[in-house]
Amino acid sequence: PDVSGLRNMHAFKCSSNLLESLPRSVSDLKSLKTMEMAENRLTEVPDLSRTQVVSLDIRQNRIQKLPRLPETISTLHASQNSLKSVEGVESLPALTVLTVGDNSIEKLSPKLGSVKSLKILDVSNNNLSTIPGEIGLIDALNTLLFSGNPLRAFKRSLMSAEISAVKKYLRMRIAAPTEDQYERERKDNAMRHLLLDGAAKKSLSLKGKGISEIPAEVLGVEGLRSLDLSENKLQRVPIEVTRANPNLHTLLVEKNSLSVFPPPVAGLQHLQELNMRMNMLESMPAEVSFLGIVHLDLRNNRFTSFPPAVLSLKKLQRLYLGHNGLTKVPFLGGLGDLHTLDLGNNKIESIEDGLRKVPKLQNLNLENNNIRRIPLELAVCTELKNLQVSGNPFRMLKYSVIQRGTEAILKFLYNKIPEDSPLLQNAPSSQPTNSSVDTAEMDALKREIEELNDELGGFGVSSVKKYALKKKIALKRATLIRMERKAKSNR
């Protein structure tokens, strides 16, 4: 029968029957987590690699080969079958229990020693002539059953010895321990100390460990408030991390290989600081649970549009979105606590009005974008202390003004605000009114005009250069006339 329609089925239990086969459509049950098929007449089990099976019991059947299994599997019972090998189990990172006694297994792969989560291993009553010494390197292993095998050069006393003694003996049998193995043991010991220390301090750092997957032993650490996974090769953040540490305040995942915003991270309700810069993120979930976050760093990713979810983060204080591909910035007036905003090195062409409604804005980076018109309202942002705008094709804001820094830029913008503009109704007292004019600025402008006239009257000036100089002089004279008029009306 076709069971593919049972998409929400979590458990499939048919033990103690006379089943000779299972439907191939079992492979499509993506929600399946438990399978109990013991005491039947099965000769094979369908591919389970696309399911979410955690526990599989196929004891007392006639199975000759293990099926393809998912990485989620934790418990595998396959005793009393006709298995000749257990090939493939060494690639199951979550495997904790493996019972394959009473089969016809002739050899175990040394790679089985890489299953660091394995706690129970039963290979009794098979045809094994040896047990790989690498199994002795599994720190988590606390039960090893191997009686009933034709083992060679294996002390009989070890059959009843403590597991620590058995593992020590196995390690001694590893042929010529290499530098890599010693280094691995050193790293394993360092990881154990790191985890113990992290659990005690509720702060764990795996920065720069070169890992592509979070080690199984790390997934067992609970109650962390801070977790640093920076500078690795992670492509995902497994849900086990957030499930064990729901109260995380700080999560650093910068400089990894994330291409999708991890859903488990989006569900962290108590997150205060999230750093995900230098990944390959293109978007962010429309809804997130960390509504109390104060620091969000998404620099150096692949965003082409402003993440809408950010607008719901009312307590956000620092937002870094530089080095992406943003083209527009929406109205940000709802972010009342924001004091640092980095939008530099994007492709922004326009910014919605409303920055003056971000009352605490102190630092604003708009460098290296495609902005042609800088918002005049920046001049009335009373807390703005650091404004970076160089590298934009502005039409009215000259490079000479930008060079003089934030104060000069804001003064320039203020003087461009029309006198009847609503922006001036709540103008800060520290800014000059439109009717006041900096006499030093007028004097400097007059000197510039004189210098341009001298250059125009010089010898050997081409017609093209003369035209450009005349145009520049005319523009500066027009500016000077406006300033003089304002000065006169102010008297």
Predicted pLDDT at 76: 97
**Whole-angstrom distance, CA of residue 43 vs CA of residue 65:** 8
For the segment 258-287, what is each residue's pLDDT rounded down to a tens digit? 999 999 999 999 999 999 999 999 999 999
Average pLDDT over residues 17-39: 93
- For residue 441, report the phi and psi dihedrals to the nearest 5 degrees: -70, -35
Amino acid, single-letter form, for residue 276: M
Beta strands in 298-434 (DSSP E): 318-320, 328-329, 340-342, 350-351, 363-365, 386-388
Predicted pLDDT at 430: 46
Residue 250, beta-bridge partner list: 226, 273
- For residue 451, report the phi and psi dihedrals to the nearest 5 degrees: -65, -40
**Whole-angstrom distance, CA of residue 35 vs CA of residue 21:** 14
H-helix or E-strand spanning residue 205:
strand 203-205
What strands, in cross-sheet order, belong to the sheet with 386-388?
Answer: 203-205, 226-228, 250-252, 273-275, 295-297, 318-320, 340-342, 363-365, 386-388
The answer to whether the CB of 445 falls within 8 A of the CB of 476 is: yes
H-helix or E-strand spanning residue 401:
helix 399-403
The answer to whether the CB of 265 falls within 8 A of the CB of 286 is: no
Residue 34, beta-bridge partner list: 11, 55
For the segment 334-376, what is each residue's pLDDT rounded down to a tens digit? 999 999 999 999 999 988 888 888 999 999 999 999 999 888 8
- Specify whether the backbone of 322 is left (phi greater than 0), alpha (psi in -120 to 50) or beta: beta
> In Å, how far are 82, 84, 109, 408 from 104, measured between CA atoms?
6, 5, 15, 84
For the segment 63-113, what is each residue's pLDDT rounded down to a tens digit? 999 999 999 999 999 999 999 999 999 999 999 999 999 999 999 999 999
Q: What percent of the chain has pLDDT over 70?
A: 94
* Structure token digits, residue 405: 């820094």
> In Å, how far are 173, 187, 299, 417 from 307, measured between CA atoms?
57, 39, 12, 31
Assign 204 to helix, strand or coil. strand
The answer to whether the CB of 384 falls within 8 A of the CB of 410 is: yes
Residue 26, beta-bridge partner list: none
Q: Is the pLDDT of residue 441 over 90?
A: no
Average pLDDT over residues 294-315: 96
Q: Is the pLDDT of residue 440 over 80?
A: no
Question: Which residues, at least 6 apart from 450, have a Cβ–Cβ distance to it below 8 Å?
Answer: none
**Whole-angstrom distance, CA of residue 108 vs CA of residue 135:** 10
**Whole-angstrom distance, CA of residue 461 vs CA of residue 180:** 74
**Whole-angstrom distance, CA of residue 255 vs CA of residue 36:** 43
**Whole-angstrom distance, CA of residue 288 vs CA of residue 242:** 14
Predicted pLDDT at 392: 93
For the segment 395-421, what is each residue's pLDDT rounded down to a tens digit? 888 888 999 899 999 999 988 888 777
The answer to whether the CB of 9 falls within 8 A of the CB of 26 is: no
Beta strands in 335-473 (DSSP E): 340-342, 350-351, 363-365, 386-388
Predicted pLDDT at 436: 45
Q: What is the maximum alpha-carbon separation in the chain?
A: 110
Average pLDDT over residues 420-425: 74
- Picking from 39, 47, 3, the residue whose alpha carbon sits closest to that of residue 20 is 39
The answer to whether the CB of 41 falls within 8 A of the CB of 21 is: no
**Whole-angstrom distance, CA of residue 94 vs CA of residue 115:** 8
Long-range contacts of 261-264 (CB under 8 A, 24+ apart): 261/285, 262/236, 262/237, 263/239, 264/237, 264/238, 264/239
